[in-house]
Amino acid sequence: MSASRAVLDVLLENARYDVEDIARQTDLDADDVEAAIADLESSGAVRGYKPVVDWNNVEEEYVRAEVELNVELDRETSYADIARRIARYPAVDSLKLVSGNYDFAVDVQGPSMQEVSQFVSEQIAPIPEVTQTVTHFVMETYKDSGIEFDDYDEDDRLSVSP
């Protein structure tokens, strides 16, 4: 396994490990870890680092919707062109071209249902190539980015065992 791949594995588990701890886990020098991280970032493999948040436990309103978008392409407009236009909005958290019944899957976030609805109807729907939007408000999140939002991880092992 390359140094970059080994470092990426550790970051995928927890991107907050400091360089020293990543070095210890991978048998690399701290300098090599720094270099591997720089490499991952400059090559575009790692695009950023963010926490996984359970918004139920943050004392403010937060609304998330998954929006299905259908679009109609013409000779001058590609999927990438439409995607660029949609992705620029800060309210768009993620944007993917998908196979199946619709073209784009868009995650939209906002402080209230009204603002999210407004954003979809006033900013997304009017885009000329967009033929249809279906908005699904997220009601409950059980797992995000590989992390389950439950409290079942208590360690019930005996404290000393053979």
Partner 1 sequence: MLTVDISERARETPPSGIRRYFELAEERDDIISLGVGEPDFSAPWAARQAAIDSLERGRTSYTANRGRRELRERISQHVERYDLAYDPEDEILVTTGVSEAVDLAMRALVDPGDTVAVAEPAYLSYPPTARLAGGDVLPVPTREADDFALTYGALDRAGAEDADVLVYCFPNNPTGAVLTDDDLRGVADFAREHDLTVLADEVYAALTYDGEHRSIATLPGMRDRTLVFNGFSKAYAMTGLRLGYVLGPAEVIDAMNRIHQYTMLSAPTTAQHAAIEALDSCDDAVADMVSQYDRRRRFVLSRFAEMGLDCFTARGAFYVFPEIPGGDDEAFAEDLIQEQGVAVVPGRVFGDSGAGHLRVTYATGMEELRESMDRIEAFLDGR
Residues that bind partner 1 in the complex, under the rule CB under 8 A: 9-10, 13-14, 17, 21, 23-27, 155, 157-162
Q: Please state the closest distance from residue 28 (CB atom) to partner 1, in A.
A: 10
Other CB atoms within 10 Å distance of the CB of residue 33: 25
CB 54 within 8 A of CB 87: no
Q: Which is nearer to partner 1, 58 or 160 (CB)?
A: 160
Q: What is the dihedral of CA 35, 38, 40, 46, to 10 degrees?
A: 140
CB 64 within 8 A of CB 31: no
Q: Which is nearer to partner 1, 80 or 160 (CB)?
A: 160
Q: Please state the closest distance from residue 72 (CB atom) to partner 1, in A.
A: 41
Amino acid occupying residue 76 = E
Specify the 3-state DSSP secondary structure of 42.
helix
Q: Please state the closest distance from residue 59 (CB atom) to partner 1, in A.
A: 25
Q: Which is nearer to partner 1, 12 or 73 (CB)?
A: 12
Q: Please state the closest distance from residue 162 (CB atom) to partner 1, in A.
A: 5
The label of the residue with tokens 């963010």 reads 50
Amino acid occupying residue 58 = V
CB 135 within 8 A of CB 120: yes
Q: Which is nearer to partner 1, 6 or 82 (CB)?
A: 6
Q: Which is nearer to partner 1, 72 or 144 (CB)?
A: 144
Residue 47 half-sphere exposure toward CB, CA atoms < 13 A? 1
Q: Please state the closest distance from residue 142 (CB atom) to partner 1, in A.
A: 13
